[in-house]
Each structure stands twice: as structure tokens, then as C-alpha cells.
Amino acid sequence: MSSLWPPLPPKNESEEDKAARLAAEKEAKRISDEIDRALEQEKQELRKHRPQTKILLLGQAESGKSTMIKNFQLYFCPSSFHAEREAWRAVIHLNLVRFVNYLLYVLSNTASGSGGKRGDPNRDYRMFQMRLAPLKQVELSLTRCFSSENSPVTSPTDDKPTLHTSPAQEVTVRGGMGWKSFIRRGRSQSRVQSNSSELESTRRILDACKNDIVALWKSPAIRALEQEGVDLHHHSRYFLENAERVADINYTPTPDDILRARLRTVGVEEYRMTMETAAEKGAEWVFYDVGGQRSQRASWASYFEDVNAMIFLCPMSSFNQRLSEDRSVNRLYDSMELWQTVCRSKLLSKATFILLLNKADLLRSKLRAGIKFSDYVIDYGRDEPNTTEAVANYLRKEMMDIHRVCSPRKRQLHVHMTCAIDPTLMAAVLNSIRDVILVDILHQTTLL
Ligand SMILES: Nc1nc2c(ncn2[C@@H]2O[C@H](COP(=O)(O)OP(=O)(O)OP(=O)(O)O)[C@@H](O)[C@H]2O)c(=O)[nH]1
Ligand SMILES: [Mg+2]
């Protein structure tokens, strides 16, 4: 019997039979389409009533929590990610100009401190300071755009915009996703025009300064700073290296740029994402992104209840860094202590636990540059290999041991080594996180 549908017409079919057959086929197709429509409607209804999936991201400051949220959005809700590109441009421009102004500030101190000894670099510096002077105004304007009228975005240390003389003073966001529409549209009608004209003029100034920014970065003055041991490995360095493109008047941020943009989180931000990918289309996932600084951690616990999954980020590359909020504390040790506290939490005991050993790329470049992990982590034997794989395996084991010993009940731990600024590498990790969360939710609901 043939499995073809509709079946082939019988041989020698009369015109009358043919008309009757076509009418029957048309009716069958109408019924079939109706059934499909009803099924799709039923599915939509089910999706609407499906409980939300709640995911909490924890970890110290700069561990990559907000970057992970961007990855989720880029991968599972791409149209909403791309719709926000304009809003990120202002953040990226502020990242760039703050770093340039910081470099000019460092150069001013170093150059005046070294008198005329450095010859050319000194002359370079004075020229750049003159030509890039308008960037001070750009920094003030952009900061004002973020911080006017019931500001959702401020700097915790500054009530009024001031020029930043340290790369540690960062762009900060407070409370939710509101800042994106704020930067796009302004809070009130009066702000709409002034915000957009201010942003427009900052773009024009940046474009005019583009060549000088590029030249500053390539200049002997900056190379001299590096030779003097000034640490220029800041996350905004990427934007300076790409200044020709980023400062251009026609610049639109790419996904890579957005993943690199730094916006420090203050308080707890809630992100509601409606999944766009086939399997989960229409489902709502709610993410809680917390500020990771020590002063922020007291507010975390109120978000522990009812979360389906907790994703903890440990930046592996932090082994030779100190906490900016307490210079006596090694960042990796702080991360491990924090992990112990999170594992012990009874409120999180039923949540799916996911550990991301993040910043694998930075760990690799530090180790390759000859920085020895064992110089900072005393339990890591001096004879152990100073390679990314060996160090990552060591950290994985340490963190798994802490999890086993400190968890109030036996629980599986899912561990991944990640580089959150690389969307290609993140795709597999994101799929696996999604699958693990869905399977655990299924278990939780069938066990209830
Ligand atoms: N090279 C590299 N940079 C990363 C990685 N993950 C995050 N970053 C960068 O690190 C910086 C800090 O990341 P965030 O996601 O803002 O850190 P956070 O944990 O949200 O920090 P707080 O909001 O202060 O708690 C950003 O500039 C990111 O682009 C990574 O795997 N490799
Ligand atoms: Mg953050």
C-alpha cells in the first residue's frame, strides 16, 4: 500500500470523480489545519501556565555574573539582545573614555614626576592631553545621561559626576533593566531630547578624537608606562584596542563588544526573559543578578528561596589579585570562602547547583606569561604543572570537595570551565545548563 498523501488519483478518473476527490482532499486539509491550530493553541496555553524558571547568579565582584546573563539572552532570546544594542553603546563609550582619561591622568603624574628625563614620551603626553581634552566633557556628559533624574545608574562613591582617575571607579547600574530604556528614551519628555542630543554630540566628539585615541594607545608614552610596571590589563583595554571602530560615528556594538562592556551591579537585578528558541519558546526564565562586592552580599539571602537553580561563578584568573574592597584579601580565597557559605545554605538546599570556573582565557594568559599559581596558592605544590588544565583540575577538585563537605544534603554539582566573553565556546555550556535545569525541574515536579 502506498504511504503517499494525498494518494495518487485513480487511472481514468472522470471529471466528476476528480471534482469530488479534490473537494474531499480540501476538506481533509481544512480539518487537519484546524487540529494543528488547536494543538498549537493548547501548547501556548500550557506554556502560559507553566511555572517560571528562577535562576540565581552568585559570585564575587567581576566574576562574570552579568556577562553570563548577557550570554543567556544572546543565545536564548536573540531578538531582545539585539534590540538593546543601542543602549549598550553609551556604556561602551563610557568604558572607553574613562580608560583614556585614566591613562592621561596616569601620564600626567608620571610625566610631571619624571621631569624632562623621558624626552619624547613627555612631549607626546602634552600633545595628547591637549588634543584629547574634549573627552573629559564626553565622560561628564555620558555620566550625566546615566545619573540624571531618579538615577537608575550612579557611581556609589560619587553623588555628582566627577572625572575618574582610577580604572576601579566603574560604571554602575542599580535596580533592574530600566536603565536600557532610560538611556534610549529618557525618563521624561524633557529628558528625551536632552539625552539624545547629548549622546549624539558625545558620538561626534569621539569620532573627531578617534585618530588621537588610536595614536595615544600606540604611543611610546604608553609603552613606557607598561615598561615601568603600570598595570594596563583592564577590561576596557579591549575597547581601546578597538578604538578606531568603537569611536567611529557609525559604530553599532557587536555581541562580542556587549559581552565585554562592564557595568557594575549594585543591589539585585531581576531579568525576565521569554525564551525564543524552539524547544522552550514562550517560557519565561527569571534571572536574579546580584552585586558581588562584600557590602552587597547581605541582600542576597532574601532571593535564595524558591530558586530552581543557582549558578556560582569563580574567576580562576583572580589567583594573583586582591579584593578592591579589602586589599589584604586574595580574590581566589575570597571566592572559595563565599562558595562554602553558599553550599551551606539550607534555603538553597533543593536548588540545582552549577559551578562555572570562569575567565579560563585570562588564567591561560597569566600562566603562559610565567606567573606561577603556586606562588599565590600555598596548597598547590611547587612541582605541580603551571598549566591551565592542571590548575583548573585542582580548582575543580577543591570546589567539589567544599561542596561535598558543606552541603546540608547530598546533591549533584555540575561544573564547567568557561570563558564568558566567547559566545561560540559558551553555546555548549548554555545548552547543557538549560538541559540540566529542565531535567531537575521535571524531577522536582514529579516528586512533589
Ligand atoms: N577575559 C574575560 N573577561 C571576562 C570573562 N567573564 C567576564 N569577563 C569580563 O569581566 C568584567 C566583569 O564581568 P561582570 O559580568 O560585569 O562581573 P559581575 O560578576 O557581574 O560583577 P559585579 O556586578 O561587580 O558583581 C566584564 O568586563 C566582562 O566582560 C571571561 O571569561 N574572560
Ligand atoms: Mg554584575
- Reported as a pLDDT band with limits 50, 70 and 90, residue 36 is confident
Q: Cα separation of 105 and 129, whole Å?
A: 9
Q: Is the CB of 66 under 6 A from ligand 1?
A: yes
Would you state the pLDDT for residue 121? 57
Ligand 1 neighbourhood includes 118 CB (under 6 angstroms): no
Asked whether residue 79 is marked as a ligand-binding residue, the answer is no
Residue 113 has pLDDT above 60, yes or no: no
pLDDT at residue 201 is higher than 60:
yes
pLDDT at 392 over 50: yes
Among the bound ligands, name the one nearest to the CA of residue 65.
Answer: 1
- Enter the DSSP assignment of 208: H
Give tens-digit pLDDT for 234-289. Answer: 889 999 999 999 999 999 999 999 999 999 998 999 999 999 987 778 889 999 99
Q: Return the bridge partners of 158, or none.
A: 155
Which helix (H) or strand (E) segment holds residue 342: the answer is helix 331-344
Q: Is the pLDDT of residue 167 over 50?
A: yes
Instruction: Report how far Cα 195 is from the mean position of its chain's Cα atoms.
Output: 25
Residue 398, SS3? helix
Q: Is the CB of 420 under 6 A from ligand 1?
A: yes
Residues in CB range of 310: below 8 A, 6 or more apart? 55, 56, 57, 58, 342, 348, 351, 352, 353, 354
- Of 187-191, 213-217, 311-315, 327-331, least confident by mean pLDDT is 187-191
Choose among 54, 70, 71, 56: nearest CA to 429.
71
Cα 73 to Cα 84: distance, rounded to the nearest angstrom: 11
What is the C-alpha separation between 175 and 270, in angstroms, rounded?
8
Distances (CA, A) of 431 to 65, 154, 203, 412, 414: 17, 35, 38, 18, 13
The confidence band for 384, taking pLDDT boundaries of 50, 70 and 90, is very high
Where is pLDDT greater, at 8 or 316? 316
| Tens-digit pLDDT profile for residues 46-60 | 666 666 899 999 999
For residue 112, the model assigns a pLDDT of: 42
Atom number of ligand 1 nearest to Cα 57 = 19
Q: What is the DSSP string of 63-85?
A: SSHHHHHHHHHHHH-HHHHHHTH
359 has binding-site annotation: yes
Contacts of 337 (CB under 8 A, 6+ apart): none
In 3D space, the residue among 177, 172, 171 whose CA is nearest the CA of residue 270 turns out to be: 177
Would you place residue 2 in the very low, low, confident or very high pLDDT band (cuts 50, 70, 90)?
very low
Cell of 278: 524552539
Does the C-beta of 361 come closer than 6 Å to ligand 1?
Answer: yes
Q: What is the pLDDT of residue 40?
A: 81
Task: Consult the annotation and say whether 159 binds a ligand.
Answer: no
End-to-end Cα spacing for the chain: 48
Q: Which amino acid is at 285?
A: W
Cβ atoms within 10 A of the Cβ of 251, count? 19
Radius of gyration of the chain (CA): 27
Backbone angles phi, psi at 172, to 5 degrees: -125, 145
pLDDT in tens, 148-165: 544 444 443 333 334 445
According to DSSP, the residues that pair with 54 across neighbouring strands are 286
Q: How far is the CA of 64 from the centre of ligand 1 (A)?
A: 4
Neighbours of ion ligand 2 (CB under 5 A): 65-66, 265
| pLDDT tens track for 418-441 | 999 999 999 999 999 999 998 888
Average pLDDT for the chain: 86
Q: Whose CA is nearest to atom 28 of ligand 1?
A: 260
Residue 350 CB-density burial (10 A; 0-12 exposed, 13-18 middle, 19+ buried): middle
349 close to 406: Cβ distance less than 8 angstroms: no
User: pLDDT for 124-140, tens place per residue?
Assistant: 788 999 999 999 999 99
Whole-number pLDDT of residue 151: 45
Pocket flag, ligand 1, residue 265 (CB < 6 Å): yes
Predicted local distance difference test score (pLDDT) of residue 376:
98
Work out the widest C-alpha separation in the chain, in whole angstroms: 105
Residue 73 CB: number of other CB atoms within 10 A? 22
Cα–Cα dist 193/185, whole Å: 9
* Alpha-carbon torsion, ordered 195, 199, 200, 202, to 10 deg: 140
Q: What is the pLDDT of residue 184?
A: 58
24 CA distance to ligand 1 middle (Å): 62
Q: Is this prediction's ipTM beyond 0.90?
A: yes
